A and B are shown apart, each in its own frame.
Chain A
């Protein structure tokens, strides 16, 4: 058995290029299957971990309608509106009996500049309570304080990445002046590293400023993006959503039959939406890996047919010295599945490396589904057997005399 494996490898090696070609298809199939499944699973796991961290009692009301698209698991605002105000946020906090804390916020992409370096960040203008509501703390210096809010102070707290990119290290950022729009702000703190939040926004790319400073001194606007509400632990989320909808529709004078100009999101909702988006990604991954596997199977089929033709002498000799037809059949099936398994193995290894790199840079948790990996390998071997069936049968039909006479 070991020896026939060695001979199989030697003969495959003799037709190296063809063998490699056949393996590439299977490799891509295994790569697509393992890669996409693992990454989408890591994303889900991350979302679940985030929710667990935030607690299931976080509730967000925001302007516009949020949709999740399959192209990206992060939420996208489908329709902006400028109708959400601080008064709405207050009305929600007062009108919902289970609301404990409220952190209204404005979120906007803005360039931030220090010296000659200018980069784009997500400015989040909010109240000091945001830190508690989102469970997000500074690693250095401090977060926004009530005095900042009252004085419309020109201060900001940088996300970890922003601090690193502008100053090289967080400690060098403290006390420095940065320019956002036309406002000069003093850095009073740097946030801990946190990665993407449940909505897909990278929290390390954010810069926090006092809400009043932003509304009065930086943007001169009255509307806000939305409000985070922390609910009591025993709150009935569905009931809260219903009351919130009633409050906001009345305040925004939305008549019956008209669409909401706001969105209400809970951590659970976000996960559900992400799951829907990821399901699509998963399906696409499955389709593409199926196609790749099919192409790989056809590749193995055609290359095995060529191999059998090129190796008629070997087949004739083997038959002459005592190989039964079924021995020849078995040999070529073994070679085909060997080829496919090797392709599958390389694909899986490549996929896991890729997943490792992606998870590392996207700060996703590492996942390894052993059954999926084994399944991809077994599938590859089976594919090889199936694709190799016809060529192997052809090989078994080779007549000894035809070979001996034609040489």
Chain B
């Protein structure tokens, strides 16, 4: 593992939320290193702070304190636009509830991140079709999310996460809304994606799901326990 360079380094990350008078400490000093090409499962019960940690990893949220070095660069001081750019180029996201835009087609959903990247329209379309083909939806490209099953929607989300060829894939409970057969298929696809050399962080509450990863990290009450 030491052969691979460190991609992400978290140092004493904390995250507090203000709820009225109350200050809720969700993350209480997280230190973590992720090497390029790793497959990590971030396991924890509901309320353990695992989603918040994933949001911070994916630059969707900023930590209250602590340092986050992404490829050696401290992201704390980066302007909003630069964070958008990094999210666009470095990360692919998969969410429990898919987060597909309901009124556009599967293919349009897939190429959505590409609109904010350097790829041209024609190339994007071609790449989107390839990806949908890879996840087995070549005959569903013009369907809207509402016309697809949960498993199919998650495959669309998976294709969307890969459109800009990101370094890191962040999956937050990707099988949380799916039955066991479909879950297995999605996990299989995630395994394939890791095999292609991508870094994968899988957030889950489920030990069986977490067992697919090379390395499992347990999050409990805002603190880490390496498993």
Complex alpha-carbon distance, A3 and B164, angstroms: 16
Q: Within 8 Å of chain B (Cβ to Cβ): is A6? A: yes
Q: Within 8 Å of chain A (Cβ to Cβ): is B121? A: yes
Give the most central of A7, A313, A327: most B CB within 10 Å: A7
Contact of B116 among A11, A324, A400 (CB under 8 A): A324
Q: Contacts A317-B99, A322-B117 given: A10-B89 contact, CB under 8 Å? A: no
Tell me if A322 and B88 are in contact (CB < 8 A). yes
Chain B residues within an 8 Å CB radius of A14:
102-103
Tell me if B116 and A327 are in contact (CB < 8 A). yes
Chain A residues within an 8 Å CB radius of B60:
320, 400-401, 404
Chain B residues within an 8 Å CB radius of A407:
97, 99
Q: Within 8 Å of chain B (Cβ to Cβ): is A269? A: no
Give, as a whole number of angstroms, the nearest-CB distance from B169 to chain A: 13
A-facing mask of B75-101, CB < 8 A → 1, else 0? 000001100110111000101010111
Tell me if B93 and A321 are in contact (CB < 8 A). yes
Tell me if A10 and B99 are in contact (CB < 8 A). no
Could you tell me how many residues of chain B have their Cβ less than 8 Å away from some Cβ of chain A?
A: 32
Give, as a whole number of angstroms, the nearest-CB distance from B217 to chain A: 22
Complex alpha-carbon distance, A400 and B137, angstroms: 28
Q: Contacts A317-B99, A321-B93, A322-B116 given: A11-B84 contact, CB under 8 Å? A: no
Tell me if A313 and B101 are in contact (CB < 8 A). yes
Interface size grouping (class) on chain A:
20 to 34
Chain B residues within an 8 Å CB radius of A326:
81
Q: Closest A residue to B116 by CB, please name it.
A: A322
Tell me if A322 and B113 are in contact (CB < 8 A). yes
Tell me if A313 and B99 are in contact (CB < 8 A). yes
A-facing mask of B38-68, CB < 8 A → 1, else 0? 0000000000000000010010110000000
Q: Within 8 Å of chain A (Cβ to Cβ): is B112? A: yes
Tell me if A11 and B55 are in contact (CB < 8 A). no
Q: Within 8 Å of chain A (Cβ to Cβ): is B207? A: no
Complex alpha-carbon distance, A10 and B106, angstroms: 13
Give, as a whole number of angstroms, the nearest-CB distance from B66 to chain A: 18
Q: Closest A residue to B124 by CB, please name it.
A: A3
Q: Closest B residue to A14 by CB, please name it.
A: B103
Give, as a whole number of angstroms, the nearest-CB distance from B170 to chain A: 10
Tell me if B84 and A3 are in contact (CB < 8 A). no
Chain B residues within an 8 Å CB radius of A194:
none
Q: Closest B residue to A318 by CB, please name it.
A: B112
Contact of A323 among B97, B103, B116 (CB under 8 A): B116
Complex alpha-carbon distance, A324 and B85, angstroms: 8
Q: Within 8 Å of chain A (Cβ to Cβ): is B184? A: no
Give, as a whole number of angstroms, the nearest-CB distance from B26 to chain A: 12
Complex alpha-carbon distance, A8 and B108, angstroms: 11
B-facing mask of A100-140, CB < 8 A → 1, else 0? 00000000000000000000000000000000000000000
Tell me if A7 and B104 are in contact (CB < 8 A). yes
Q: Contacts A7-B108, A400-B60, A401-B55 given: A317-B117 contact, CB under 8 Å? A: no
Interface residues of A in 377-407 (CB under 8 A from B): 400-401, 404, 407
Q: Within 8 Å of chain B (Cβ to Cβ): is A87? A: no
Chain B residues within an 8 Å CB radius of A327:
84, 116
Q: Within 8 Å of chain B (Cβ to Cβ): is A4? A: yes
> In terms of DSSP, what is the predominant structure of the interface of chain A?
helix
Chain A residues within an 8 Å CB radius of B95:
404
Complex alpha-carbon distance, A276 and B115, angstroms: 55
Q: Within 8 Å of chain A (Cβ to Cβ): is B111? A: yes
Interface residues of A in 306-329 (CB under 8 A from B): 313-314, 316-327
Give, as a whole number of angstroms, the nearest-CB distance from B86 to chain A: 8
Tell me if A3 and B99 are in contact (CB < 8 A). no
Q: Within 8 Å of chain A (Cβ to Cβ): is B160? A: yes
Chain A residues within an 8 Å CB radius of B116:
318, 321-324, 327
Q: Closest A residue to B85 by CB, please name it.
A: A322
Complex alpha-carbon distance, A2 and B185, angstroms: 35
Tell me if B117 and A404 are in contact (CB < 8 A). no
Q: Within 8 Å of chain B (Cβ to Cβ): is A13? A: yes
Tell me if A11 and B85 are in contact (CB < 8 A). no
Complex alpha-carbon distance, A317 and B145, angstroms: 14
Give, as a whole number of angstroms, the nearest-CB distance from B54 to chain A: 10
Interface residues of B in 177-194 (CB under 8 A from A): none
Tell me if A10 and B104 are in contact (CB < 8 A). yes
Complex alpha-carbon distance, A332 and B99, angstroms: 20
Interface residues of A in 1-59 (CB under 8 A from B): 1-4, 6-7, 10-11, 13-14
Tell me if B108 and A321 are in contact (CB < 8 A). no
Contact of B108 among A6, A322, A324, A325 (CB under 8 A): A6
Complex alpha-carbon distance, A319 and B60, angstroms: 9
Chain B residues within an 8 Å CB radius of A321:
87-88, 93, 112-113, 116, 160
Chain A residues within an 8 Å CB radius of B113:
321-322
Tell me if B112 and A324 are in contact (CB < 8 A). no
Complex alpha-carbon distance, A407 and B93, angstroms: 16
Q: Contacts A6-B108, A10-B108 given: A320-B80 contact, CB under 8 Å? A: no
Q: Which residues from chain A sit less than 8 Å from chain B, CB to CB?
A: 1-4, 6-7, 10-11, 13-14, 313-314, 316-327, 400-401, 404, 407
Knowing that A7-B104, A320-B93 touch, tell me 20 more A-B residue pairs with CB under 8 angstroms.
A3-B111, A3-B115, A3-B121, A7-B108, A7-B115, A10-B103, A11-B103, A11-B104, A13-B103, A317-B101, A318-B116, A319-B84, A321-B93, A321-B116, A322-B117, A323-B84, A324-B85, A327-B84, A327-B116, A401-B60
What are 21 A-to-B residue pairs whose CB atoms are below 8 Å?
Answer: A2-B121, A3-B108, A4-B115, A10-B108, A14-B102, A317-B112, A319-B84, A320-B87, A321-B93, A321-B160, A322-B113, A322-B116, A324-B80, A324-B81, A324-B84, A325-B81, A325-B84, A401-B55, A404-B99, A407-B97, A407-B99
